[in-house]
A and B are shown apart, each in its own frame.
Chain A
Amino acid sequence: MTAIQSRAFVQIQNVFKEFETEGKGAAPIPVIDGVSMEIQEGEFVVYLGPSGCGKTTLMRIVGGLETATTGEVRLGGERVTGPDRRKGMVFQAYTSFPWLTVLQNIKFGTKYRDDVSETERNEIANHYLQLVGLEDFADFYVNRISGGMRQRVAIARTLAAAPDILLMDEPFGALDAQTRDFLQEQLLEICRAERKAVIFVTHDVEEAVFLADRVFMFSARPARVIEEIDVNGAIGSERMADTKETDAFFHLRNHVRDLMRDQARAIG
């Protein structure tokens, strides 16, 4: 199979991944079982699947933090060979640095950019500080702020690095439900302003349907795409706080939840 000359921003082509296991004669464990997809610029894509199915591994391959056993990922036509600033990543674990303040953390995102001056670094940091609504906490050390705020710092820092794509690995997984709802809405606003491609990994069905333009539903390990759900086609691209109460959302969520249940049952 030769590289397809498509215009898509992210091209994932026939990716297989196996994890080596320790011990003599132990067979490698298949994690990703031949996944291909294309993601357009500015598109918000959610990877949904049962825990441990390999969706995070696929996202990490896109980020260059893992390598595919076979197959390849192209970003803007260029083959991904390792991590760099163009593939920004937000983790579930808090990664804002405790020795820096909120503002310093966000500015850290610009540290390895050679396309901006020192004045611009400060402007960028302040811009994203405002975008995530943390102006009042600029000089707080991150150990003094809540988990939700720490994730906003991480998102702002990642954006300050001006990545081409935003990779988010269950960033709201450790937060309480109210904070989660609030951050989901805020994330959509930010993404509307930034117009970046996003891959967002979650196992929360409601979160997936609310955030996504498209949802890729994965099987239990090894991960295969079992259904691609066109959320915009079903409920429109407009998302408000009360979107979750509409009939269309309700029906789509139930459909996706059934898919998810089947997969969970497969694991047992």
Chain B
Amino acid sequence: MPGTAGRGRASGSGQALGALVAYRGATGGRANLTLGIAAFVLFIAVWYLIVFTGLVTERFLPYPGVVIGTMAQLLVTESFLNDVWISVARVWGAFLLSVVAAVPIGIWMSSYRIVGALVEPIVDFIRYLPVPALVPLLIIWFGIGEASKVAVLWMGTFFQLVLLIADDAKRIPREFVETGYTLGAKPRQITRSIVLPSMLPTMVDNLRITLGWCWTWIIVAEIVAANSGIGHYIWSMRRFLKTPEVMAGILVVGIIGLLTDQAVRIAHRRLFRYL
């Protein structure tokens, strides 16, 4: 691969290298991918060396190969796949409930000053409450079933998301709204046909970032109170000091996150070709 790929680009490679180190230089797909992979390889190499030199005992930090092997094994184990599926379902369920509430309320906050002025202080206050501190309360309220997990995730994302959405909506040019009026649109029509499409690209970006947070809160929730899910799996393996299993579980969360993120990025590029 290096032989064929390198030849055609030989003339431009000096320039490409320059752009990589220049302040705010141009970014390119291939170079970014290569650097991304190189960082991963370096990370694993350092990890390997730490174990190999005995800096940390294998009991606490197994070889990368062992962790990856454990993960490969887990991915064909039915009970673990079930845990993965449950966590994914909880994340997406709670996330969608957050979106369904945050999008209309956020747009509403930016459309009418009275709504913004009423809602924003409360949202700002709740936003700063640490979600893990809310877990005991939510368990008292919702028990240890699915409802409490969804509640934790919802609390952790809704209040952040609603402000982001309100901001996205507020940031569309005033002239867009005024254009709507002078073309004869009513406020509701302006929201649907001008505000929403105009804010959509930044909104999808914010949704992608918020979805990432869901994975933090789900693990917290599953560690505290659950008998299923990846978080529960990681926590129960800890009890037997099965470090490879614990790390494999963490790795799976990372991989799911990475894949979802990339999928949304690709969808973003497809949906908003005009940008």
Contacts and interface: CB of A to CB of B under 8 A. Distances in A.
B181 A97 contact: no
Contact of B194 (A63, A83, A85, A97): A97
Contact of B183 (A93, A142, A157): A157
Contacts, number: 67
B193 to A, nearest CB: 7
A98 B193 CA distance: 13
A65 B231 CA distance: 55
A54 interface: no
Contacts of B189: 112
A87 B182 CA distance: 6
A93 B174 CA distance: 10
B121 interface: no
Interface residues of B, number: 20
A99 B201 CA distance: 10
B184 interface: yes
Contact of B175 (A84, A91, A98, A167): A91
Contact of A93 (B173, B182, B197, B274): B173
A141 interface: yes
The range of chain A's interface size is 20 to 34
Interface string A89-117: 10101010111000000001101110000
Nearest to B176: A95
B22 interface: no
A163 B183 CA distance: 8
A199 B184 CA distance: 19
Contacts of B42: none
B275 to A, nearest CB: 7
Interface in B229-275: 272-275
B25 to A, nearest CB: 23
Given A65-B178, A108-B193, A157-B183, 18 more contacts: A63-B182, A82-B181, A83-B178, A83-B182, A85-B182, A88-B182, A89-B182, A95-B173, A95-B175, A97-B176, A97-B198, A99-B200, A108-B183, A111-B193, A112-B183, A112-B189, A163-B182, A167-B182
Interface of B: 173, 175-176, 178-179, 181-185, 189, 193-194, 197-198, 200, 272-275
5 contacts: A99-B198, A99-B200, A99-B274, A111-B185, A161-B182
Interface of A: 63-65, 82-85, 87-89, 91, 93, 95, 97-99, 108-109, 111-113, 141-143, 154, 157-158, 161, 163, 167
